[in-house]
Each structure stands twice: as structure tokens, then as C-alpha cells.
Structure 1
Amino acid sequence: MELYTTSLLFIVSFSTIIFLLFRRNSAFWRSINTPPGSTGLPLIGETFQIISAYKTENPEPFIDARVSKYGSVFTTHVFGERTVFSADVEINKFILQNEGRLFESSYPGSIANLVGKHSLLLMRGGLHRRMHSLTMSFANSTIIKDHLLADIDRLVRLNLDSWTGRILLMDEAKKITFELTLKQLLSIEPCEWSENLRKEYMLVIEGFFCIPLPFFSLTYRRAIQARKRVTEALHLVVRERRIEREKGVKKNDMLAALFDSDGDEENFYDDEIVDFLVSLLVAGYDTTSTTMTLAVKYLTDTPSALAQLKEEHDAIRAKKGASVALEWDDYKSMPFTQCVVNETLRLSNIISGVFRRAITDVKIKDYTIPKGAKVFTSLRAVHLDQDNFEDARVFNPWRWQVSNSLSI
């Protein structure tokens, strides 16, 4: 009886404290004229609503309903924090252009737990600039031009040859994407080890789309455990590669570029390298495979676009022959293919937006975003806004044959 009474008192006291803190915080936000909105329940906020919306085929209603009610800038409460959402193209540009001055990268703790504190998403200052510069240098290097297309061609053919009967396109796209990303980052070819690592990554990815409370969410708890196994496997790879490097073994991949940069400035620690690799795998795995799958869907639903795309590809294939791999010049001579890529990226919005935090009080239009407030710039809302694109929710690759002034 005493234990029950003690537990009840604790629950009531805890709930009262949370309620009072929540009400006090709400009063503060109202006092400084922050964007209007609804913050939902204490602690949970509107996290259930945004997760359930993004698990459907049409996640737009979460933003659509709030933009309709409050305008293009509104306040909500998701993933444990009160957050200002922007669906305004000019405000989004302002936020992103003032990175490091008025705003800094800041993602919910639940995401940080999955990608690691040294992820490119969470880095700030000099380390972020160094890692970002290194990534862009590698992406623009001759390594990509010389090897990327050849690896894509080889791995796609390898997977196509293994298909028998009915296949699930999304699963196959994820497999191809993971194998390709692993090849570019670590020079690892498809094998039992890479397939086991991919299965662990699938569990990590699932953790991004659930209530981020390990005690209540089995999915999130599994994701945290899988992330630990992934980092352990990558730590072994990094240590083995350091030993190989000391013996004079040289490879052309992202890990080699990280090792080579050690002499430029302070050396990277293994933890930093592993978190960096984890975030790049996360960034490339689910997003790219989903975009590939949606491209097939959009083209299937738009026969005229599929026919024009096939005509462009057939013309190149007729010159090269069926067995010759595509080269960089072939890729650059596909104007309509690029239109399809642009329209797929616009409509699919795999990266729905980015999180930032205000470094100081920032006035935007008639509102104030207080210092320390979380901000989400919604790229999805901008790309699907009728004011920015005619028939914005219709797949129309031909729109990219005419110059479009929107650049976000």
C-alpha cells in the first residue's frame, strides 16, 4: 500500500511539474510574439501527428493544415522541442544563408543518438567546415568521374542478373544503393559482411520514424542497439585500413581521403571518422533508394515521359553497344534525363527539410524567433507550393526545360 501511495505521489508530482513548466514556457513564447501554432500535449507535442503523416503516401496534410490555419510560418512541438516551421521560400533562404551567424545546425536528440555526435549533420565550426570541404572535394574529384559510373554500371548489372521472378523494387534499390555507397566510402565489394551490415542499417533507419523514447518504443530501442553494432563493425574496418596504410596499401575511396587529410591539420579520431561514415551511409542509403523507386513510379504513371527518356537512352546505347559501360560524357549528354531527375527530386522531397537553432533572437517578418529556438526549414512545402510551381503536385519533367527562378 505504501509503495502504491509513493508511486502515485511521484506520478502526480512529476505530471504537475511538467505541466507547470510547459505552461510557463508557453507563456514566454506568447510574450515575445513568436509565430502562432499549436504545441499539442506536454513533452509529446505533435510528434505523433507528424510521424503518422510521414508514414502515409501523402504526408503533406501535416504542413498543409497548419499553413492554412496559421500561415507559412507556424509553431509546433515535435521530437521533444518547440519548433518553428517555415514553409516560406524567402524565410528558408534567409535561415540557410545565415548559417553560422544567426543560426546553427541542430537536430533533435533522438536523431543525434542515431547518427552520432560527430555526424556532419551535427558538426559546427571549424570541424564542420573541414569535413564539408573534404566531402565536396571528394565528390568533385576525378575519382568520382573515373570510378563512380563504372561501379554503378557493374553493380546494377550484377543485381539485375540475380533477379528471378517477381521482385520488390524498393528492396532491390536499397540493396544496390547500399552496395554502391559502401564501395565509394570503403572500397568494399558486395559480400556476406556487407549484407549483414545493411540489415543492421535497416533497423537504424527505422528509428528515425518512430517515437524516440527507448523505454516506450521497441523500434527506437532496436535502432539504438543496431547503431552500436554498426559502429563496432566500422571501427574494425577503420583500424584494419590504418594498418594497411602503414604498410603502403593505397585505395581510392572516402576513407583514404580522410586518412590523407590528417597531414593538413589535426588528425581525425576514429570516433569522428566512424560517425562521419555512419551519417554518409544514412544520407545515401534510404534517400537515394527511395528516389530511385519513385522515379520508376512517376515514369510508369507518365508514359510520354518514359518514352522520351527511353528514346534518349536508346540513342546513346546505339552508338556504344549493349555491353559497353556508360562514361561521364554520356551522362552529361542526357538533358531530358536531367529534367526527370530534377522533377523526381522536387516532387519526392526525400529530404523534407533541415533543422537549425537560433543563435540569437531573430526577427523574421512580424515575428521573433527567440535565442535557442529550434527552426525547421521545410523544403517539401516550398517544392509543393502552387505559388512556386504550376501544378506543383503533378509530375512534369518538361517544366525543367524552361528556366525556373526558384533555387531552393
Structure 2
Amino acid sequence: MGVLMAIVGVVVVLCFCSALLRWNEVRYRKKGLPPGTMGWPVFGETTEFLKQGPNFMKNQRARYGSFFKSHILGCPTIVSMDAELNRYILMNEAKGLVPGYPQSMLDILGKCNIAAVHGSTHKYMRGALLSIISPTSIRDQLLPKIDEFIRAHLSNWDNKVINIQEKTKEMAFLSSLKQIAGTETISLSDSFMTEFFKLVLGTISLPINIPGTNYHRGFQARKTMVNVLNKLLEERRASNETYHDMLGCLMAREENRYKLSNEEIIDLVITLIYSGYETVSTTSMMAVKYLHDHPKALEELRKEHLAIRERKKHDEPIDWNDLKSMSFTRAVIFETSRLATIVNGVLRKTTQDMELNGYLIPKGWRIYVYTREINYDPFLYPDPLTFNPWRWLDKSLESKNYFLIFGGGTRLCPGKELGITEISTFLHYFVTKYRWEEVGGDKLMKFPRVQAPNGLHIRVTSY
């Protein structure tokens, strides 16, 4: 009897689940929507997406084509994997396709961060950001600071086993602080480091503000960082000194045509640290990994950087002309970004009912411009799973409509060249000073984030 009741119970549960799934599918079966599945009510297909990773997208594409509906990341979503259509979506913010990043990210990075705003506000905030990270600023102010910091950061690695993942994260974080706050970097880093890591985790969590959740910890970390930055801003204003760093430029209201409030400055600073942290640290780590696994690429890279060192005195820093001559270095960075796929895609949101690709997309739906599979398309990148930096020596690749590694349209990453400068400087000193070998056989994960869960350990020795 007990067994029979158990069987009946299982059947009832299965029937209920099947009916629930069916109800949810019917609920979203609106006229004009692209094909696809919606999964469970509320949760949708987020679990399957995060669990299966790229395979989920491949399976859906095989069933429904390169433009399909789903319910991931907490909301009904259209997934686009078509290169031409992706470019159109990214280029047409004015037609009702605004950023659609998760609520947790928008809450924790602040309402004035450039990912949250659009229209004239975005144009103004982007202009303020570009004013402090322009090519001229990089050449005259930022590159000397980056060079000095990177040399100091790498100075004591000889004859040590290091976790390159941890070291590149420290590098990206502290380098950003040095550029932003200059002389106050040491005091800021002590109060910022732990809080910043909490903030990062909070931005990729469900927006549930209950003590103990990553979102709650991230939001509290933001409050702490805002208080520290507010205090720093007030101290600087009271001192009447001139500061030659990013914060100083943003605060110089007379010289700077962008007149920002404290809140706008703080959100801009937090976003700047956040945006560069993940991309610079992960690209640097994966470049070390790929160069280790591909000796010919490492040899070519060392050749380029040794030629630069031969033109300079022993401790002479690199300059703008040196940076512009690093064509193979730039190729290594692009190929690392493509193969590792550090950014899987970008999110947009419809502000009105609109037609896309022959389908009617309702107002308020997210559109996930999923670029990951494009990076591995053999028609676009021959032998796509091979690390081949030489392909990027063809400069025309950077202008192709499917080249979306740094975003596109009015949302093209404003810190692209600054990030390339930081990674190039790191590679310059790392490959000319050290050789390395991997130890420990550490595992790598590439979804949903590129990371080594237990670290990526290497043994470093000087040449």
C-alpha cells in the first residue's frame, strides 16, 4: 500500500509539474514572438542556463535558430546569436533598445553609473569618463603611473610559486586606485579591497535584500565605499590642493566642462574600478595561460618586447611610442579575449513594443546579445579553438560587424584602450623579466565567469 501511495504521489507531482510548465508556455505564447521555451514560472530557464552554460544556448539554437525566446536572469528574454542583428541592436539605442542589465548590478553600482543611464544623461556621463581616460590622458598622465605600479607589483616574484589569478586581480584593482586617487592609494586600498570583492559578488546575485545574501553584503559594501569616497572628496575640497589624478580632474569644476555632483563622481569611480577589474585581471591571467601553452606565440611576444628594451636604458619606463609599436601584444590581447570569452554578451531592454527580425517584441523584455558562439564561428575565425594571435595582425578584423569583444555602438567600452594599455604594460615586464611553468594542474572554468576555482599557480624565475 505504501509503495502504491508513493507511486501515486510521484505521478501527481509529475502531472502538476507538467501542467505548470504547459501553463507557463501558453502564458507567453503571444502572437508574433519568436520560437523558444520559457521554463518554470518565476525561475524560467535560469537554472538550466547556468548549469549547462554554452551547451544550453547551442541546444536552443539547434532547435529554434539564432533568434529565440527564453526566461533567464529573472525576466522574459529574447536571445540573439546573429552577428548582423546583434550589431543592429547595439547601434540603435535611440530606437528603444536601452541597457537592460540585472537589477542587482544597477542597484549596487549606483543610479548614475554609465550602464544604468541612457539618452542625454549617458552622453554626458560618458563624456566625463572619456575626459579622464582619453588617448591624451593615457599618454601624458596614466601610462607613467601604470608603468611605475606594474614594475613594483612584479618586482618580488622571482623564485616563487604564485597564484597568477590572485596577483592579476590585485594588479587590476590597485592599478585602478593609483590612477584614480594617486597618493591616497594605500589608505584607500585597506578599506576598499574587502568591500570591493563583496560588491562584485553582489552585482551577479539575485536582488534579495536579506542579511546573509550576496546582494545584501554587496549593497552594504557599496555604502561603505560611498562613505569612504565622500570623506575623501570633502577632505580634498577642504585642502585646496591640486591633485593630478582622475579624481582631481573630475573635481576640477573650473577646468572641466563636466560639472559632476558628488554622487555622479562616486558612481563613475566605482563603475570605473568595477569595469576594469574583471576584464583586465582575467585577460592578463588567461594570456599567461595561453602563452605558456603556446611557446611560439610567447617567443614572438618576447621578441617584440626585447626589441623595445634594447632601445631603452635599463630602468627606463615605456612610453606612448613603445605602446603604439606593440602590434603583436595587441593581437595576443584580442585573441585571449576571443578564445577565453571573458564577456559572454550584453543585455538590452525594449522601452516599447518593437519589431525585430520579423517578430514583435513586447515592451519591457530583455534582449540578450549573446556573442560567445560568434567567437567560435569557423566561418568568421578559421580554426576557432586554436590560440592564434597572428590572425589579428590583419587590422581589418577590428572593424568587422561581428567584432563585439568590447561591445558596440554608443556603448562601445570607453575604457578599451586604457585596459589594453594596462595589460600590454603587464605583459611587457612579465615576459622580458620572467619565465614560468604551471604547477598543480589547476582547473579552469569558463562559464558563467572565466576563473580558476582553486587558483592558477605558476613557478616564476628570472631570465
CA contact (8 A) 2:42 2:74 kept: yes
Once the two structures are TM-superposed, the CA of residue 69 in structure 1 deviates from its matched residue by: 2.2
Letter in 2 for 1:407: F
Query: Is the partner of 2:161 in helix, strand or coil?
Result: coil
Once the two structures are TM-superposed, the CA of residue 24 in structure 1 deviates from its matched residue by: 8.0
Letter in 2 for 1:185: I
2:224 counterpart of 1:229: yes
Within 2, Cα distance between the matches of 1:389 and 1:162? 39
Once the two structures are TM-superposed, the CA of residue 96 in structure 1 deviates from its matched residue by: 0.9
Once the two structures are TM-superposed, the CA of residue 296 in structure 1 deviates from its matched residue by: 0.8
Match of 1:173 among 168, 188, 193: 168
Q: Which runs of 5+ in 2 are unaligned?
A: 1-15, 405-463
Within 1, Cα distance between the matches of 2:331 and 2:255? 41
CA contact (8 A) 1:182 1:188 kept: no
Aligned residue pairs total: 382
Q: Structure 2 vs 1, CA of residues 46 and 234 (structure 1 numbering), >3 Å: closer, same or farther?
A: farther
Match of 2:89 among 66, 85, 95: 95
What does residue 62 of structure 2 align with?
68
What does residue 374 of structure 2 align with?
382
Within 2, Cα distance between the matches of 1:271 and 1:24? 45
What does residue 8 of structure 1 align with?
none
Q: Structure 2 vs 1, CA of residues 266 and 345 (structure 1 numbering), >3 Å: closer, same or farther?
A: closer
CA contact (8 A) 2:111 2:117 kept: yes
CA contact (8 A) 1:299 1:306 kept: yes
Within 2, Cα distance between the matches of 1:42 and 1:149? 51
Q: Structure 2 vs 1, CA of residues 227 and 71 (structure 1 numbering), >3 Å: closer, same or farther?
A: same
CA contact (8 A) 1:84 1:374 kept: yes
2:31 counterpart of 1:36: no
2:335 counterpart of 1:340: no
For residues 109-128 of structure 1, the aligned pairs below 5 Å read 109-128=103-122
Q: Structure 2 vs 1, CA of residues 81 and 276 (structure 1 numbering), >3 Å: closer, same or farther?
A: same
2:297 counterpart of 1:301: no
Q: Deviations over 1:289-311 (max 9, x none)?
A: 01110111111111110110001
Match of 1:369 among 361, 369, 372: 361
2:81 counterpart of 1:84: no
Within 1, Cα distance between the matches of 2:238 and 2:24? 53
Query: Is the partner of 1:389 in helix, strand or coil?
Result: coil
Within 1, Cα distance between the matches of 2:372 and 2:156? 36
Using the TM superposition, name which of 326-335 and 259-268 deviates more: 259-268
CA contact (8 A) 1:34 1:368 kept: yes
CA contact (8 A) 2:98 2:348 kept: yes
CA contact (8 A) 1:104 1:357 kept: yes
What does residue 206 of structure 1 align with?
201
Q: Deviations over 1:313-357 (max 9, x none)?
A: 111111113311101101111211111112112222323222111
What does residue 5 of structure 1 align with?
none
Q: Percent identity?
A: 34
For residues 2-401 of structure 1, the aligned pairs below 5 Å read 27=26, 29-52=28-51, 59-163=53-157, 165-188=160-183, 190-215=185-210, 218-244=213-239, 247=240, 249-261=241-253, 267-401=259-393
Q: Deviations over 1:103-162 (max 9, x none)?
A: 112222122122111111001222210111222232225331123222222111212224
Q: Structure 2 vs 1, CA of residues 393 and 213 (structure 1 numbering), >3 Å: closer, same or farther?
A: farther
Q: Which runs of 5+ in 1 are unaligned?
A: 1-15, 54-58
Once the two structures are TM-superposed, the CA of residue 366 in structure 1 deviates from its matched residue by: 3.0
CA contact (8 A) 1:173 1:292 kept: yes
Using the TM superposition, name which of 136-145 and 300-309 deviates more: 136-145
What does residue 429 of structure 2 align with?
none
Using the TM superposition, name which of 135-144 and 351-360 deviates more: 135-144
Please provide the CA RMSD for this pair.
Answer: 2.6
